[in-house]
Chains A and B, each alone.
Chain A
Amino acid sequence: MFEEFFKANRESANLARKWKKKTGRKIIGVMPEYFPSEVITALGAYPVHFRGTQMPLSRSDTYMQSFSCTTTRTILEQALNGEMDYVDAFVFTTMCDNQQNLAEVFKNLFPDKPVIIFLIPFISSVTLRQEHLKEQIDRSISELERVTGNKFTKDGLKKALMLHERLNTLINNLYDIRRRNPGALSAYEFYSIVKAGSFLPPEEYTGMLGPVVKTLGSMDVKDVADRVIISGITPEPLELTKAFDEIGLHIVDDDLTSGTRRFSKGALKGTDAKSLDNFVFGGSPCSTLFDPSKDRRSYLLDKARSNRAGVIMWQIKFCEPEAFERPDITSYLKENNIPVTSFEVELQMASFEGIKTRLQAFKELMEVQI
């Protein structure tokens, strides 16, 4: 049932090339995070999302220091290895300093591929934040019109929003099934399904998701112990999710930027200022956004309590936004008797033995505490 999704992740570049040839559509490479790919679909193009992947690093070291996060370094490595040759243009956001500078690296190293920048506002005034987002999307759309050669129309947008809403609903259904029945599928299977959506045309992916969600939803519910929530940006390297399955830690939910945080607020509703604001800022609290109206500590506490779960912070080394929040979140959850731990990964890691030992110890701690 999951093989198609595994294959999509294993052969993402070939798959994207195949779909490009088959559909004749332009492909826009979307970098992390918060660009509404709905507008790419509306323009008759097809978005492919890059969030870094497990691979050895070599050529990227010529251009980026070892203290750049491995999300950005593995993205660059993929590009240098020709694994993005099918991409017609890239969209970058300024969610963090690493991504901001990676955009400049791409402009320099791949001058024949347009780089479109979507500036994320870090600002106190909500009104100005919304105005700024509107300006950003209008500019991005007009640049994408040039790249795709297509006009952005109301009708195209309407169709794209419906398609993405359907996709979002299916992913949210998948999340609901896991919350209700964590034993229905393994962590590796779950995040493989979610990740595959990065590389497939939305309509194709939606078509694949439907039957899987239906089958999983009809499975008998079996309660499980050792429940955890993972918190962070993205569950890479994906192979590491297998460690959770091996150890018997059941991930019942997450607050990942590429996961719940992205899907729970629904798809983009329109390109007006408020809809855009909801798309970027409407999800659960995110370390890469400035939104003082939200508190990630209490959000995680509520989530841990309602799921009877511990919290594991999945940290990517050199991710400053996450590293700044970790101490406060950890102490807050501990004060409230929620088991919490964290580990740090680099995406090119091949062995996870140290992390497995940590996860095993955490499982034992949870068995005492919960």
Chain B
Amino acid sequence: MTKFRVAETMKEIMAAYYLEAKNAAYNNTPVAWITSGGPVEFLYAMGVIPVYPENYAPMCSITRMSKDLMEVSEAAGYSQDICSYARTDIGADMTQGGPILGLPKPDMLIVGTNICHTVVKWFDVHARKYNVPLFIIDMPYLHDDMTKDAINYVVKQFEAFKGFLSGVLKKPFNEDKFMETLFLAAQVSDLWEKVLAMGKKKPSPINSFDTFIHLAPIVTLRGTQKAVDYYTRFYDELVELSNQGFGSVPDEKIRLLWDNLPIWYKIKYLSEFFAKHSAALVVSTYTNSWAAMQGDIDTDHALEELARAYLSPYINRGFKYRTDYLVKLVEEFSLDGLVFHSDRSCKPYSIGQYIVKEEVTKRTGRPGLIIEADMNDPRVFSDAQFETRAEAFLESFDR
């Protein structure tokens, strides 16, 4: 992984974000726990600090704390078969553990179903514990094409969400601030897309392990000027590096795609493993999902555009879309192959990967590798098993 100049800035803005969140109660600022695909723009418009258990869980994993936290929730009866983010988060909440000693108490819980239905159950556990309002925005899975009905359905819920926030916070919904936030969010998503598109360069100045780390601001600070400034600088740095001929993997020979969530506790190891084999993971369906959460913000149809954006993430789409999308990425990013993380914790992302992989290989001739693992549970990962399979896969490119 490359140590980019902006990395220090990211540390600073993320530290400031978590500090502000931790002090929210002292500052009389409301806090919402929200899912990673939730419409954060509404919260920023109303001065609510959004906090992401799905950001905190990988933080616990990267800092090697997730296993202990999961063991706490498992001892409380949560099965090892449920999402490891949820188990980590529930364990962190029970112990006030993890790198920032627990998340600040929520005043409300906000769920978007565009990533899974697990989040409904997970946040419901918190709703029972904290006895705070839980608002769910149903963003239905698109088995086929995006439909007007689906967009209208989400738009109506966005309208209801404004009413919900207004009621809980006892003040009118701030439409002006909302539009300002939408513009900023669209800018951030646009910048993120440009950052990710740098993976098309040969050699690529950035790889998926870098983008996994630099994802934090777009998840947590989407809709803020801070995030716009950050990704502007990041993009400029990447352009500068690329112009100098810099490649994130020295001697880049194999260009790959990463599908599904990262294996957070193995990022460094995987990054070094692939680099050792001159393989660069130049694009990932996971990080691309936040680039999809943008629309051309037209003030007359802002909510329609926003609904379209939130229905768009890869995980919320049927297999035909997924296959067509991967075939497109093979072309655009000049890929030699695809790596699929079969993530025990994330059923909606993983179930179907075998089919999608075969179809993409049939259409493009590019091979795929399946890695059996889990995004946050290190007990599931076997170094030896991974290396045997991945080495065989990478060696096939020499022949």
Contacts and interface: CB of A to CB of B under 8 A. Distances in A.
B113 interface: yes
Contacts of B347: 67-68, 97-98, 101, 318, 320
Contacts of A125: 156-157, 160
B157 A128 contact: yes
Contacts of B76: 327
Nearest to A315: B79
B157 A324 contact: no
B121 A63 contact: no
Contacts of B141: 94, 100, 119
Interface stretch (A1-9, A104-112, A225-233, A242-250): A104-112
Interface string A313-352: 0000110110111111011000000000000100000000
Given A287-B121, A324-B82, A128 B143 contact: no
Given A101-B352, A121-B138, A128-B156, A324 B125 contact: yes
B202 to A, nearest CB: 33
Contact of A132 (B117, B134, B143, B153): B153
A65 B160 contact: no
Contacts of A96: 117
A327 B77 contact: yes
Interface string A287-302: 1001010000000000
A117 B348 contact: no
Contact of A124 (B77, B135, B342, B344): B135
B340 to A, nearest CB: 11
Contacts of A105: 319, 351-352, 355
B246 interface: no
A102 interface: yes
B78 interface: yes
Contacts of A287: 121
A144 B94 CA distance: 49
Nearest to B133: A124
B4 interface: no
Interface residues of B, number: 48
Given A124-B164, A326-B77, A108 B355 contact: yes
A290 B120 contact: yes
B120 A122 contact: yes
Contacts of B143: 103-104, 107, 115, 117
B160 A124 contact: yes
Contact of A320 (B77, B83, B149, B318): B83
B278 interface: no
Contact of B118 (A65, A97, A101): A97
B121 A324 contact: yes
A102 B351 contact: yes
A186 B399 CA distance: 64
B138 A122 contact: yes
A320 to B, nearest CB: 5
A108 B81 contact: no
B136 interface: yes
A65 B351 contact: yes
The 3 closest A-B pairs by CB, nearest first: A327-B77, A324-B121, A101-B351
5 contacts: A97-B351, A105-B351, A123-B137, A123-B138, A124-B137
Given A290-B120, A320-B83, A324-B121, 15 more contacts: A62-B354, A65-B372, A67-B347, A72-B351, A97-B118, A119-B140, A124-B136, A124-B164, A132-B138, A287-B121, A290-B124, A290-B136, A292-B127, A320-B81, A326-B77
